[in-house]
Amino acid sequence: MKRIHFFVLVITMLLPILSNAQERSKQDRARSIVSAVNRKDAKMYVDNFSENVKVYMYGEDGSFVLKVDGIEALYNNRAEHLKNHPEVRNEIQHLAEIDNRLIMHDKVWLTPDRKEGSSVVEIFTFDEEGKIERVDVIQQKNLFSQEK
């Protein structure tokens, strides 16, 4: 009987540790997003986001404008982007974690003809479950006119 109690106690103590080991870190989520872009996999991309995700783009007037509202809208946006840019490639340059946020500076090449990638900065805000609930994006205003 003592062995059973001991075994139950050990299992009870290990479950939270094993559960935490299964959680994905903020940096793992950022790497997954970049990998999804490079694999052209919109489903893999959105798996990192909460259902009520909001994506804001930095506007010319200095404010952030809501561009994507919800996981379905994000999936449609990413699927369309990957369809329109089948040769897109991303590389992470820097990652910085501050509290419940991760700042990612990455470079994007919309076509292989471009020698220089374009810088993009995303600030990801994470919810309590470790998924991304908000993204603030800063990118060159002429990013998509540079494809040729």
pLDDT tens digit sequence for 95-120: 999 999 999 999 999 988 878 889 99
pLDDT confidence band for 19 (50 / 70 / 90):
very low
pLDDT above 60 for 7: no
Helix (H) or strand (E) segment spanning residue 53: strand 49-58
Does 4 reside within a domain? no
Task: For residue 33, count other CB atoms closer than 10 A to its CB.
Answer: 25
Count of structural domains within the chain:
1
Residue 3 lies in a domain: no
Q: Is 110 exposed, middle or buried (0-12, 13-18, 19+ CB in 10 A)?
A: buried
pTM over 0.85: no
Question: 59 or 26, which is more confident?
Answer: 26
Taking the alpha carbons of 124, 86, 139, 77 in that order, is the dihedral positive or negative?
negative
Predicted pLDDT at 116 = 86
Q: Which residues contact 108 (CB under 8 A, 6 or more apart)?
A: 37, 88, 89, 90, 117, 118, 120, 139, 143
The average pLDDT across 124-131 equals 96
- Residue range(s) defining the domain that contains residue 87: 22-145
The pLDDT assigned to 125 comes to 98
CATH label of the domain that carries residue 34: 3.10.450.50
Q: For residue 54, is it within any domain?
A: yes
141 inside domain:
yes
Contact 30, 38 (CB under 8 A): no
Q: 108 with 142: CB under 8 angstroms?
A: no
Rounded CA gap, 96 and 103, in Å? 5
**Is pLDDT of 130 > 80?**
yes
**What are the residues facing 124 on neighbouring strands?**
102, 135
What are the structure tokens assigned to 109, written together? 């090449």
**pLDDT value at residue 18:** 47
